[in-house]
Structure 1
Amino acid sequence: MLWRRRGIEVKTPEQVRAMRSAGLVVGRTLEVLRAATVPGVTLAELDALAERTISDAGATPSFLGYQGFPATICTSVNDVVVHGIPDDTVVAEGDLVSVDCGAVVDGWHGDAAITVPVGRVTAAERALVAAAEAAMWAGIAAARPGARVGDVSAAVEASLRAAGHDGIVRDYTGHGIGTALHQAPDVPNVGRAGRGPRLTVGMVLAIEPMVTLGTDEVDVDADEWTVRTLDGSRAAHSEHTVALTEAGPWVLTSLDGGREALAGLGVEAVALDYGDA
């Protein structure tokens, strides 16, 4: 049985394990796309590769047709923060390419994103990508039963500011996920500890910092999807789906469940015998 706490979908352990199947499809697809994001490939080719990889795994793309979105993945290049639509743009040396991917298996969604530095990028851009990923893991480490959403937001913000980044995008947030791609609660990337809904076992969150080298202000292109930095600065985006379980956090879209990255933060992720695949 699925139940809700103040509008938030709370999953049983069996349902979380079902979500792991979708998460693994997403994680494996992103690794395929990471390797394929090289100079000369087009964004449309990456999208077709993602669709084949997801389909071959017996899953369905979460994004294709979602509120009219026309592609399997979002491909956001350089000053595009999120929701870029794959087209015939050719990836070039020095680009930052964010790839956001979702898949659904038996009605359960997984959602994750990576930013790929293509070839030689500046030290500042490489640091930006690393900061987005580190902030995501800091947020995941703060997502524990008894904490509040604001604790996750505060951890993400503190990590980014400690790395020297103030261009933290506020207009787009992380979110709950499960039988729908986007659910309550919103998970902002800035916030105050101790605020917001309380986290409980069975909640599943998509935590996704978005940060720029300049302003936090963004605008949306005429296609009503592509979100771009207002000042033209480059952006990075990192995302994983994490479940709060009795055994600890389980990063459903990470191939190792998040164990290696969380261990570096002093957090024990779920053991392999929790039903990992």
Structure 2
Amino acid sequence: MKNVKHLVMALLVIVAGITSCKKETTPPAQAGTNEITETQTNVLLPATKFRLTKQGNTYLHYQNDGKLWRVIFSPTNYIEYSWVFNGVIATNYIDNKKYSTNYTMINGSGKCYHSTFKKYKGDLVDFQWSWKYEYFNNQLIKQVNPDDADERYEFTYNVDGNLEKINYYSKQGVLTNTTAIKYNLVIIGPKVDKSPINPETAEIERYLQLYGKFSDYLPMSIKQTFIPNNTITKSTSYIYSLNENGYVKTRKWQEWGILKETAEYQYQQIR
């Protein structure tokens, strides 16, 4: 089942990745440009705040109440979010056909505590799996298979409270994959992340802020290792430029030192 799950999740990542490299087909949302100002009486106004509307060729649209509504990768590939009384249902469409759903249940503190992923074949559920989530000090520390607790993700944070490692354990309780995250390069120091995006390596909704705080900083390098033979399977690095408000303006994405994409970010002012 682990291999099947990874195949399904990999397909969703590939679809998002392929469409992100295509020509833009959705008009970009208007980005806010206002800066912090002072009134004539020298009273400082609240800090200007923005929300992400564009990452490369991925577009984010919101409801009037500010909740995420759609993440669009292309006109035919997108995720639609339906908010219900105890959570949110993310429906993934590929070629305008329902491919999967992810029902994320939210507790009283606004965090995901349980999720159920279903993959469809036509109108019927092909297969499904679930996760439950454990927190400590407002940070996700475990993502566990409720039917087999040996299968799990464990999240490790450094002394500053920033996520530095994600370990995956199989149903046999064996450490199989490790993801290591760094927030500074040799000559580049850490950069504050004002619009966090969740890690891609864990099976969580990337753009929903329902899993506590992962880090204060932008990830600069990510390395994935397949533990049984100690093989590095992914080596990713990012280089950012920031706008005048300290938000990401562009991100250069490199794999094994080869530039894969330069993504432009856009935002909408919400305060």
Query: What is the TM-score normalised by the length of structure 2?
Result: 0.29
Q: Point out the structure with the larger strand share.
A: 2
Query: What is the TM-score normalised by the length of structure 1?
Result: 0.28
Q: Point out the structure with the larger helix share.
A: 1
